[in-house]
Amino acid sequence: MVQHLWAPWRMTYLQCKDKKCDDCVFCVADKVDEDAERLVLHRGRLAFVMMNKFPYTNGHLLIAPYRHIADVADIEEQEMLEIHRLLKLSRRLLEAYCKPQGYNVGMNIGRIAGAGIADHVHLHLVPRWIGDTNFMPVFAEVRVIPQHIQETYQALFRLFSRYREDCGA
């Protein structure tokens, strides 16, 4: 008997029916009041960390500069330095939270390279575990995420908050 796995959030992504589809999800500099809705975990001076609303795995994070730029070649040195500092911090906090066995880290630059949002450069930090990839994405175009995204957001937000308290940020 065929079992069904419902992932209704995928239709929002596939059809872009979300009310903010025309709005760049990474242009958050002046939208602090929307941090929880946009899943922003941490704000730096030039860049920030947010969760991916359509993750590959649990804890899939995105790190981006506040400036709306499409090409990594246009990132200023101080922005790149902060992005890499946030990458190190995010990896350390993911280690504490969900103990991944590995990571994928990278940027998809340009739509042809796989960038879902090609107009605002961003870095992916994807925690990985043995067995986290199975037949579901291949046959059903569905990813199985073991924890509700809001539960993950709250846990990671607490870790980032503790970091800010510890370093006076």
* Catalytically active residues, by annotation: 122
Q: Give the whole-angstrom CA distance, residue 165 versus residue 142.
A: 38
Task: Name the one residue in this structure whose structure tokens are 């990896």.
Answer: 91
State both tokens at 28.
């958050």
Q: Give the whole-angstrom CA distance, residue 108 versus residue 67.
A: 17
Which among 114, 123, 135 is positioned nearest to 5, based on CA atoms? 135
Q: Give the whole-angstrom CA distance, residue 15 versus residue 78.
A: 36
Q: Give the whole-angstrom CA distance, residue 25 versus residue 11.
A: 17
State both tokens at 21.
């589809």
